[in-house]
Structure 1
Amino acid sequence: MSSTGHMSTIPRNRREAVAEALMRLAPRLPTFEAEATIERALSSAGLRGAVPETAAWLALVAYARHVFTEYDSLLDDGYDRDSARHFVLDDLNAILSEWGCRRTVSDEPEEEEAAP
C-alpha cells in the first residue's frame, strides 16, 4: 500500500474490505458461499453505506437464511417475516456455527440492524 496518508490503513477497495471482514466473521465459509455473500453485500442498496463488518454480517445472515433454511417456504406459506425468522433461527445459527461464526442471531427483531 502507499505510504501517502490514510490510504495505508484502508483496504484497496470495498470488495476487499468486505471479504476481509467476512473471513474474520466466518473463517470456515466455503468459497462459493463467500463469493455469493460478498456479491449480496456489494449489490444491496441497504448495505452500500454500511461499514464493511456490518455489511458482511448482514449479507451473511441474509444469504444463509434464504439459501440454507426454510425461510422462503414459510413466507410462501403465509407466515409473516418475524414468525418465519423465529422458526428458522436454530437452523440459521447452526449453519453460521458450521462456518466458524462466534456470533449468533437472536430472536430480537431489531438485533440484526444493530452494528456488531
Structure 2
Amino acid sequence: MPREAVEADLARLAPRQPPFEADAVLDRALASPGLRGAAPETAARLALVAYARHVFTDYDDLLGEGYDRDSARHFVLDDLNATLTAWGAAPIPEADAEADPEEDPA
C-alpha cells in the first residue's frame, strides 16, 4: 500500500490532526500486518481509531484492570470520539465501538 495514498486519506479523514500525531498514525497503518491488504482509506481510518484509543483514552488501563475488550471500548468511547472530532474525523457510533479488525487481541 503506497504511503502517499494512506497519507492523503488520513489528511482527508482527520484534517485537524496535528502533524506529529498524523505521522504516528501513518507509521501504525503501514506497519500493521492486519492492514497490509487494506485499501488506503480503510488502513488510515482503522489506524487512526486504534491510535487515538490507545494514546488518548484509558483503554489500556482498563484492559490491565481485567476488563474485556468490548467493555473497555464501551467505557472509552466518549473520550475516543472527543479526540476524533477534535481532529475533524467522524465519531464512532456506539453500535460500531466493538468492530475493529486492525486491533490486536489485547
Instruction: Output the TM-score relative to the length of structure 2.
Output: 0.89
Deviation per residue, 1:43-77 (Å, 9 max, x gap): 00000100000000000000000000000000000
How is 1:1-116 mapped onto 2 (pairs within 5 angstroms)?
A: 14-101=2-89, 103-108=90-95, 109-110=98-99, 112-113=100-101
Separation in 2, partners of 1:50, 1:105 = 19
Letter matched to residue 20 of structure 2: F
- CA RMSD after TM alignment: 1.1
Deviation per residue, 1:14-71 (Å, 9 max, x gap): 1100000000000000011000000000000000100000000000000000000000
Query: What is the aligned length?
Result: 99
Separation in 1, partners of 2:81, 2:55 = 13
Q: Bigger radius of gyration, 1 or 2?
A: 1
Structure 1 residues without counterparts, runs of 5 or longer: 1-12
**Which consecutive aligned stretches of 4+ in structure 1 deviate over 6 angstroms post-superposition?**
none
**SS in structure 2 opposite 1:29?**
coil
Separation in 1, partners of 2:92, 2:35 = 18
Separation in 1, partners of 2:52, 2:26 = 12
Q: Using CA pairs below 8 Å that are at least 6 residues apart, which structure has the higher relative contact order? A: 2
**SS in structure 2 opposite 1:42?**
helix
Instruction: Output the TM-score relative to the length of structure 1.
Output: 0.82
Percentage identity across paired residues of the two chains: 66
1:5 corresponds to which residue? none
What is the CA distance between 1:106 and its match in structure 2? 2.3
